[in-house]
Amino acid sequence: MNINLTLFGEMITFLIFAVFTMKFVWPLLLKAIDERREKIADGIAAAERSQKELAQTEQLVAKQLRESKEHAQTILEQAEKRATQIIEEARVQAKEESQRIIGGAQAEIEREVEASKQVLRAKVATLAVAGAEKLIKAHIDADKNKQLLDSLAEEI
């Protein structure tokens, strides 16, 4: 344990080293660290912000999706309703149409029947007359007529 001048040499060296570190090492490294910390903090803040934005957007999208689904549902329902309505209307119309047709046909038939009846009636009259003519012609028997005429003459 000899104390000698080394002590002072080391002491001065130590203080010079400390000053050197303070001037040329510490601030540069600390600056780099602080700047990086700032960058990281900014990055984290940005990430948080975008995460929030993402959540908001997701909510918006979900809402819009729900709305469009509902809208589509209403449209579908309306379309179905409309379709049933159209079918119903068509059915009613068809029924009416068919009834109209049937009515027309019946009227036609009746008219035809009537016309036929008329024709037949006319034909029957002619036929009757012809028949009668024929009958009369066939039954004109001279004897009988004579007898008849005779009996008539008698009565007179």
Partner 1 sequence: MSLHPETKAEYVQHHLKHLTLDLHNMSINPHAGFWAVNLDTLIVSLVLGFGFLWLLWRVAKKATPGVPSRGQAFCELLLEFIDDQVHEIFHLRSKFIGSLALTIFVWVFLMNFMDLLPVDLFPLILGHAGVPYLRMVPTADVNMTFGLSVGVFVLMFGYMFVGKGFKGIAKEFVTTPFAVSNPIAKVIVAPLNLVLKTVEECVKPVSLSLRLYGNLYAGELIFILIALLPWWAQWPFGGAWAIFHILIITIQAFIFMMLSVVYLSMAYHEH
Nearer to partner 1, 13 or 68 (CB): 13
Cα separation, 29 vs 27, in Å, equals: 6
The identity of residue 24, as a single letter, is F
**29 belongs to the binding site for partner 1 (CB under 8 A):** yes
At closest approach, how far in Å is the CB of 69 from partner 1? 47
**67 belongs to the binding site for partner 1 (CB under 8 A):** no
**17 belongs to the binding site for partner 1 (CB under 8 A):** yes
| Residue whose C-alpha is closest to residue 60's, from 70, 68, 72, 71 | 68
Radius of gyration of the chain (CA): 64
Binding footprint of partner 1, residue count (CB under 8 A): 35
Classify residue 121 by its DSSP letter.
H
39 CB neighbour count, 10 Å cutoff: 10
- Where do the DSSP E strands lie in the chain? none
At closest approach, how far in Å is the CB of 51 from partner 1? 24
**69 belongs to the binding site for partner 1 (CB under 8 A):** no
Residues 95-124 within binding reach of partner 1 (CB under 8 A): none
| Residue whose C-alpha is closest to residue 76's, from 64, 84, 63 | 84
**27 belongs to the binding site for partner 1 (CB under 8 A):** yes
Specify the stretch interacting with partner 1 by CB under 8 A; choose among 16-24, 61-69, 87-95, 114-122: 16-24
Specify the stretch interacting with partner 1 by CB under 8 A; choose among 8-16, 57-65, 74-82, 106-114: 8-16
**62 belongs to the binding site for partner 1 (CB under 8 A):** no
Cα separation, 108 vs 117, in Å, equals: 14
- Tokens of residue 145, six digits: 């007529």
- Interacting residues with partner 1 (CB under 8 A): 1-11, 13-15, 17-22, 24-36, 38-39
